[in-house]
Amino acid sequence: MKSKTLVYGTMLLAATAFASCDNNSIEELNFDVSIENGTTTVKAGEPVTFLFSGDPDYLIFYSGEFGKKYANRNRYQAEVQDLKLGYNLTLQYARKNYRNGLRVLVSEDFNGSYDEESINAATWTDLDGQLKVPVITSTDEGYQNGSVNDVLVDISAYKDKPFYLALEYNMAPLTSEEIANSWRHPDVTFSPKLSYTLDGKTVEKTSPKNDFGFGFLVIEGNKTDPKYPLTTNCDDSNVKIQGRNGINGTHVWAVSSAINASKVSADEGESIKSLSAALTSYTHTYTEPGEYTATFIARNANAWNMAEAIREITITVVEEEATTTETNN
């Protein structure tokens, strides 16, 4: 009797194990992709319809466009070309005594701490004079305005390493005469732009707040004057410093966050199916001419196992033909 019980127990255990293994299994993955009408050359702006055979649980699509390439899904460092720094810089309401208190600088050894000790410890350079500021040569004692526009500097030496961009505003204390006449330190507006080529596409960063991340360090400045206090501001368009009533002088640094053009986010695909009803086709529109590798990742998966199939199709996108209108005279 004991031996029969052992046999039955062994059989039950085997059956349970078989059922468990069966529950862990996933369906065989049979999946393929083709193009409707069979043509892989389309015009820009013309929809491309991909046809699917098989019904995977999950389907992810990489169009092959900028930022959506399967080959770059694990890439966090990219090759950058033609790195350039451009900017406009305006100086307003500058009297003779404080027309030369601006510098545009770069550093690759600043430690990122916005304190005077760290600023002073860093090496700051104006790239051999290529970074320019408004020069006012007038000897007029009254207010003068000046600006430099469309400054463009090749900074390819920094294309694969982090650096910091800074605007230093340093004005001497107001004299007793200037104070008596309610004269004030000038207003400065700085508008930087970073441009470079990445994967054949021109990238531009123009927001001082979001792209450059400027912060301020006030070493000296009159913030308590009720009528003309020192003000600093950084938004999507400009970095602005208004020195105003700088009785003891006004010394302010506006310094960007670390800028690293070669640091990129990994490309991401788009989930177009997730345990939903069967998907037999998908349509995508390419808007720019070029050659694109469209990649589909099909998966069947559960908590224990996964099967995956990768299918790729090269799509050639050509210029949309210009339409001409004929008139009869």
pLDDT at 175: 86
Pairing of strands 80-94, 144-154: antiparallel
What confidence tens digit (pLDDT) does each residue in 45-101 have? 999 999 999 999 999 999 999 999 999 999 999 999 999 999 999 999 988 878 889
Contact call for residues 244 and 231 (beta carbons, < 8 A): yes
pLDDT mean over 287-302:
95
273 sits in which H/E element: strand 270-274
Distance from C-alpha of 9 to C-alpha of 12, rounded to nearest angstrom:
5
What confidence tens digit (pLDDT) does each residue in 230-257 have? 999 999 999 999 998 988 999 999 999 9
pLDDT at 14: 45
pLDDT at 200: 87
pLDDT classification of 9: cutoffs 50, 70, 90:
very low
Contact call for residues 216 and 116 (beta carbons, < 8 A): no
Contact call for residues 321 and 43 (beta carbons, < 8 A): yes
Distance from C-alpha of 225 to C-alpha of 171, rounded to nearest angstrom:
17
Distance from C-alpha of 210 to C-alpha of 230, rounded to nearest angstrom:
23
pLDDT classification of 19: cutoffs 50, 70, 90:
very low
- Better pLDDT: 127 or 19: 127
Average pLDDT, the chain: 89
What are the boundaries of each domain within the chain? Answer: 27-74+265-318, 80-255
Q: What is the DSSP letter of 267?
A: P
Q: Which residue is it, tokens 């650096």?
A: 163
pLDDT at 278: 87
Distance from C-alpha of 27 to C-alpha of 232, rounded to nearest angstrom:
62
Give domain 27-74+265-318's CATH superfamily: Immunoglobulins (2.60.40.10)
**Six-digit token string for 268:** 């991401």
pLDDT classification of 322: cutoffs 50, 70, 90:
low
Alpha helix segments (H runs only) across the chain:
2-24, 116-121, 176-180
pLDDT mean over 286-306:
94
pLDDT at 107: 97
Classified as helix, coil or strand, 301 is strand
Distance from C-alpha of 113 to C-alpha of 257, rounded to nearest angstrom:
10
Contact call for residues 210 and 194 (beta carbons, < 8 A): no
pLDDT at 13: 44
What confidence tens digit (pLDDT) does each residue in 34-46 have? 999 999 999 999 9
